A and B are shown apart, each in its own frame.
Chain A
């Protein structure tokens, strides 16, 4: 009985590892370099936001406006980065007929400018 459970767990663990390895190889091969760079950026933003949130949970919310502004900057940048990624992915070309990758990038920059204008206003 214990052996079967252990075997099942081992199998599950093994399958999780296998899935992860499979995913990584597919990802590494199938994604364009540009998208991978963007994904790295998104990971960075995610980590920064999570760290800010953890700090706020740890030491308290004073000053609250600074925390909010930093957190919203992270979240907003993440969302805009995801939008950019969707728009410049060549596999989604069919859905974004009128929007060239350059146009998507220009939109990304413009939206980021407005976001960070508000963020800087609020950080205090």
Chain B
């Protein structure tokens, strides 16, 4: 769905702020142009520059504060709540109780606990504590190359929070040494925040460069969101830390405007905060983005839907920062307003006037035609503003009036002149009109803009005929001709099928509607008696019910092959066994016998093995598969072979002995 690609836009590439949108398209290089084109395609319709899609509105803020105002469970949750609320510009309900809580719950042997306590106490007014020497030694010892980045961060933060002296240069060298070993995103973010506690005399540029590296590690989701794969909490902490450090050092962070907006979209897309740390990170990010020295994203919010009309001619806007705090010390200007349909510029270079909390512009002064307009609005007043040029789609509504409504019956042969009746809205025509086989019914009217007198072509101009008896209704579309006069003609022979040939009195309604009309119209114009030529209509017209069960489909199983009757096949089975009988008879006649059967063990084993093999064939037929049969056959065959070999060898010896003795006997008789 969303294309994920590392935001590998190099630091050297400069992108111009577009004037009136579309400026981002002029980026050098074909690949960058492709990226820009893709980003453009995925951005909200009607906006050509990247526009913030998410911010903390009043409800989100309330939810965030509710999470942050939960009672403290330990020093860490106290820190999150106190510092988080202060980022949002709010204070904890009972500061004295908070101070007492922290003092009683801090663990002087843990650097982390001391950090939370120190930072919270710095925010709370009139909350101080004396630090023992041991605690100070503990904190100073933690600032070394042997501690992790997190420990250095907590130690430096605690020392700074308690107002204790700190050797910035040593801390910095420990930090850089440690950072080269730990590459995780969270460690780098903590390093950024640590550097913001160090003295400005130290050379913090190496840490400041980490901001750019971190930006390169962000994931671009569809050109709209930018976040770390570790999640939104990490992204929010990064934003807070980057701007804190940049403010401290005084250099603009290496984050481009579009990237700031994308980060904003990602962070403030989270509306439900499961953990206190998530809420804390989003609050810090909101505070950072609304009050830093370099980049302040602003959001232009129209009051209700962006629509004007004669009753409401003013377009009202509010300008807020990410925390929905109103900015009134700004100047809002309309760069140009273009009609969407005709692309003509209606208004240019007009400032909005501030009235209370809203910036207003009276658009109806230029008497625009109804429809949609693209407004290009820019907000100035502070160099830090970003996303200060937006495109807004404004709807201008009007009221429609129907004039020159003529109802007539036209003779098909055109032998009689058509009778025309004029009706005025909202009256109903007196009498009824007929439409049958030799008369057509015709309706014509014009639609005008009541305020300007111009002709209107709304989206919906329907003529609805409702059968009073059966409840049938048929709807037709009235089409305008070249002079924008709407015409509708009912020919009974042509429209038979729509009416199901049901004759009777029909009520004629005219339906006019459009998104830009404030007064859609449903007008009962007249009654029309329609008579259809042949009475082939069903006596009771039943509404076509499409949702009845359909006839059941019976599955046709594959028909089994034709087999002969059981009698025939049984007869044949008996017939096939009869040659066996013949064989036995012949054998008896020939005199075959088993009188020569010797009961030697090999003979018995051979015959048993052979019988077993035949039995195996039967079992194979009924149960086994080829592999099992081969296995058993190998065993049985082996035994049978060995025994048979022995038996046949003995027989051969006997035969040869018999032959030799008969030859000897023959030889002897010859002599």
Contact = CB atoms under 8 A, between A and B. Distances in A.
Contacts, number: 72
Given A102-B648, A117-B617, A48 B626 contact: no
A4 interface: no
B579 A33 contact: no
Given A44-B583, A106-B645, A113 B590 contact: no
Interface residues of A, number: 29
Given A59-B568, A120-B620, A37 B587 contact: yes
A12 B114 CA distance: 134
B572 interface: yes
Interface residues of B, number: 34
A102 B586 CA distance: 24
Contacts of B575: 51
Given A60-B564, A62-B563, A120-B617, A48 B590 contact: no
Contacts of A109: 610, 644
A62 B561 contact: yes
Given A37-B587, A37-B592, A117-B617, A106 B579 contact: no
B374 to A, nearest CB: 78
Interface string B633-653: 100010000001100110110
A43 B562 CA distance: 33
A106 B644 contact: yes
A33 B617 CA distance: 30
Chain B binding surface, main DSSP class: helix
Contacts of B579: 43-44, 47-48, 51
Chain A binding surface, main DSSP class: helix
Given A48-B576, A51-B576, A117-B617, A43 B610 contact: no
B582 interface: yes
A25 B570 CA distance: 39
A68 to B, nearest CB: 15
A2 to B, nearest CB: 41
B626 A121 contact: yes
B505 interface: no
B629 interface: yes
B580 interface: yes
Interface string B596-627: 00000000000000100100010011000010
Interface in A28-77: 33, 36-37, 40-41, 43-44, 47-48, 51-52, 55, 59-60, 62-63
Q: Which 6 A/B pairs are nearest by Cβ-Cβ distance?
A: A102-B648, A44-B583, A40-B586, A47-B579, A59-B564, A37-B592
10 contacts: A40-B587, A40-B590, A44-B583, A47-B579, A47-B582, A100-B652, A102-B648, A102-B652, A113-B637, A121-B626
Given A62-B563, A102-B649, A102-B652, 4 more contacts: A40-B590, A44-B582, A103-B648, A113-B613
